[in-house]
Structure 1
Amino acid sequence: MAAAKLTTLGIAVLELLHEKPMHPYEMAQLMRERHVDTRVKLKAGSLYHTVERLLGNGFIEVVDTQRDGRRPERTVYGMTDAGRDAFVERARHLLGNVAEEYPEYLSGLAVIDDLGRETTLAELEIRATKLRSLVAADRVVLDRLADEGTPEIFWLDWRYTTDRRAFELEWTERLIDGLRSGRIPFKEDHELELVTGKENDERKTS
């Protein structure tokens, strides 16, 4: 796994190992607590697979094994110097590079006129309702983080996610208003306007 090929989940694992050595189960718990799943697709299978890849590439190493009662033995991993170098290189790329991203919403916006007014407005209202619920839930999390005194430097990723979601809600509500009021006309509105204008011109000349 070259540094440039470190996945976002690989970065998340190495990010945790900056704090201390830990086993994958603890990693998964911390990722859930810190809402890492808002920026990384987090599944138990993919996490263990990522740990194995990091180990195979020399970015992490086994530093201990732990057993809690009758539970299966857990392997504790720590980050190597090579892992730290790879992490820094990849993290710098992620932060400084403007990547091409292709949100599905953009493809939906591109076909609005093909869906027609009724269907488009119905689906956009559904989206806005879902976004309002998510934005409200975001505020609860942000308030909790602030109340707990967690330094903002540790949840900038979450702040970005919530701000982006709030912006999308505001933008979508403006779009709905523009489509409903006719400020943003559908093709059928243009055609009707042309027909009406032609009829009016014909009446004036007759």
Structure 2
Amino acid sequence: MSSIRLFVLGSLDARGPMHGHQLRLLAEQERIHLWTDVSVGSLYGTLKRLAADGLIEEVRVEREGAYPERQVFGITADGRRALEALRVDGLTTVVFRPDPFDLAMTRLDPERLDELEALISDRVAALRARLADQQQMNLRADPYLTVSEKWVMQHRTDRIRAEVESHERLLLDIPRIIADELARKAQGHD
């Protein structure tokens, strides 16, 4: 699933032909950086790849004042079919990326177990700060968001809150984890 492809094809389908700078401004206007993994910096490369794949095509070249010429792209019939597939994929695919933290928790250094509680406490504090930031961002952005954008922003908040709650439970389990790690070490399972 490519978020940037979904953004470009969806924008061209909904708004008609545009050049890269217009798409970049639209991304900023719609605040997609708040809830997607779309990198506006990769927009121009994506346009080239979509054109090479036949999903968009140049419909004209524009020049405004002293600005350089800009290629204006429109979505093709193949692009509309690809857009439909991306929409379905985006709505039906469940994505939870592996967190390196999980692997690190299963590979603890037995010589540094006394630092574990402080490390996890710092992580919980960082997650709480991220949650507070997200909640503030939601409040500031709320008047400008569509209903679906508000849901997406709240979804992001809910996911961060779930991380905080999970890590708070982990903190309570630190003594058991340390005891287990020490027992494994004593048995020679390091």
TM value normalised by structure 2: 0.78
- Aligned counterpart in structure 2 of residue 82 of structure 1, from 43, 67, 78: 78
* Structure 1 counterpart of 2:179, one-letter code: F
Residue 186, structure 1, aligned to residue 179, structure 2? yes
Q: Per-residue CA shift, 1:13-49, capped at 9, x if unaligned?
A: 11222331322223233334523364325152x3211
- Aligned counterpart in structure 1 of residue 23 of structure 2, from 12, 20, 27: 27
* Structure 1 counterpart of 2:180, one-letter code: K
Percent same amino acid at aligned positions? 27
How big is the shift at 1:123? 2.5
Q: Per-residue CA shift, 1:95-140, capped at 9, x if unaligned?
A: 2234574222222222246474333223223322222222112112
Inter-CA distance 153–99: structure 2 relative to 1 (3 Å threshold): closer
Q: Is the Cα contact below 8 Å between 2:110 and 2:182 reproduced in 1?
A: no
Inter-CA distance 101–137: structure 2 relative to 1 (3 Å threshold): closer
TM value normalised by structure 1: 0.73
Any gaps of 5 or more consecutive residues in structure 1? 1-5, 192-206
* Matching of residues 1-206 of structure 1 within 5 Å: 7-20=2-15, 21-33=17-29, 34-36=31-33, 38-42=35-39, 44=41, 46-98=42-94, 101-112=97-108, 114=110, 116-148=112-144, 150-179=145-174, 182-187=175-180, 190=183
Alpha-carbon distance in structure 2 between the residues aligned to 1:80 and 1:121: 56
Alpha-carbon distance in structure 2 between the residues aligned to 1:105 and 1:97: 23
How big is the shift at 1:188? 5.0
Compare CA radii of gyration and give the structure with the larger one: 1
Aligned residues: 184
Alpha-carbon distance in structure 1 between the residues aligned to 2:82 and 2:33: 20
Superposition CA RMSD, Å: 2.9
Q: Secondary structure at the match of 2:14?
A: coil
Any gaps of 5 or more consecutive residues in structure 2? 185-190
